[in-house]
Every structure is written in structure tokens, then in C-alpha cells.
Amino acid sequence: MVDVSRKEVTGRTATAHAYVSMSPEVIEALPQNAKGDPLEVARIAGILAAKKCAELIPLCHSLPLSHVAVEFELESQGISIIATASTTAQTGVEMEAMTAASIAALTIYDMTKALDKAIEIREIYLLEKTGGKSGTYRRKDSAQ
């Protein structure tokens, strides 16, 4: 692990994106899913994943998260996922946000795979991060 003991404790946030590509028929069938509401289950899965990030990614620091949010936007060809994590710590929360978005996407896949095997998970990336020595980063092609 990187030694962050000399870094300043600051407020830090990160927002990540993931996209689950699926047919309009699968999107239309979401409310009738036999396993339950895929988006609500994915929201909880993403939040739990952010909290477990240091256990999943070997060299991540364990962080006291102050907030995690996972939001969805239904689109004609899939679901856009936006995950945000916040903390006050000596290192950033980019990996927590990325993990939340990724696991939310995998959960949607798991809950809808019976309807269509061609579902794809793609476009996992950092949209924005704030705080720390390097300051603010915003993805150039982002409307966020």
C-alpha cells in the first residue's frame, strides 16, 4: 500500500459511471422481475460494495465512508449508473465509487440474465473526483 500517513485529511468525493446495455424488452420487463426490483437490489449491492472495497482490491486503503449513492437512468438501450462516494480522509474514494458502479452493473446483469444473454456491461470510468493534493478532476466528455 502507498503510505498516506503524511497526507492531509481533506473532504474527498468521487463519482463513477457504468452502463448496462440491454434490449428495450428487458428494460420493459424490469418491474416484473421474478427476483425483485433489479434497480433497488443493485443500489444496495453498490453501496455495500463501496463499503467492502478494501477487502476486494488488495492495495486499497480502508476508508470511513460518509456517504455512498447509486443512481440509475433508464435509457432506450440500457441503464446508466452513477455512483458517488464521499469521505474525509488522507486518500481518495475513486475506487469506492468505481466499485459501487461496477457491482451495481453486475447485479443488474445477474437479475436480468434469464431474459437475455446478450446484456453487456461497459463504459466503467471515473467522472469526477474532488479533494486532496491533486484537487479536482472532471472527465472531459462528461456532462456531470
Whichever domain contains 108, its CATH number is 3.30.70.640
Domain count across the chain: 1
- Band (pLDDT 50/70/90 cuts) for residue 42 is very high
- Give the pLDDT band (50/70/90) at residue 133: confident
Give the separation between CA 22 and CA 129, rounded to whole angstroms: 29
Predicted pLDDT at 101: 98
CA atoms of 132 and 104, how far apart (whole Å)? 27
Residue-number span of the structural domain to which 15 is assigned: 10-136
pLDDT of residue 134: 87
Task: Please check whether residue 5 lies inside any domain of the structure.
Answer: no
pLDDT in tens, 3-40: 998 888 999 999 999 999 999 999 999 999 988 999 99
Residue 116 inside a domain? The answer is yes
Give pLDDT, residue 141: 82
How far apart (Å, rounded) are the C-alpha atoms in residues 66 and 130? 15
**Assigned domain for 141 exists:** no
**Would you tell me how many other CB atoms lie within 10 Å of the CB of residue 85?**
32
Specify the residue for cell string 455512483. 83
pLDDT at 143 over 60: no
94: in domain = yes
Q: How far from the centroid of its chain's Cα atoms is residue 93's Cα?
A: 11
In which band, very low, low, confident or very high, does the pLDDT at 130 lie, cut at 50, 70 and 90? very high
C-alpha 128/C-alpha 144 separation (Å) is 8
Using one digit for the tens of pLDDT, what is the confidence trace for 94-109? 999 999 999 999 999 9
Which residues make Cβ contacts (< 8 Å) with residue 130, sequence separation at least 6?
11, 12, 13, 14, 136, 137
- Is residue 10 within 8 Å of residue 132, measured between CB atoms? yes
Is 110 considered catalytic here? yes
Query: Do 53 and 122 meet the contact criterion of CB atoms below 8 Å apart?
Result: no
Confidence at residue 34, expressed as pLDDT on a 0 to 100 scale: 87
> Is residue 50 a part of any domain in this protein?
yes
Q: What is the mean pLDDT of the chain?
A: 94
**Quick check: is 3 in a domain?**
no
In a domain, 104, yes or no: yes
Q: Is the residue at 142 inside a domain?
A: no
Pick the catalytic residue from 3, 110, 116, 141. Answer: 110
Q: What's the predicted TM-score (pTM) here?
A: 0.94
Alpha-helical regions (H) of the chain: 24-29, 38-51, 53-56, 94-112
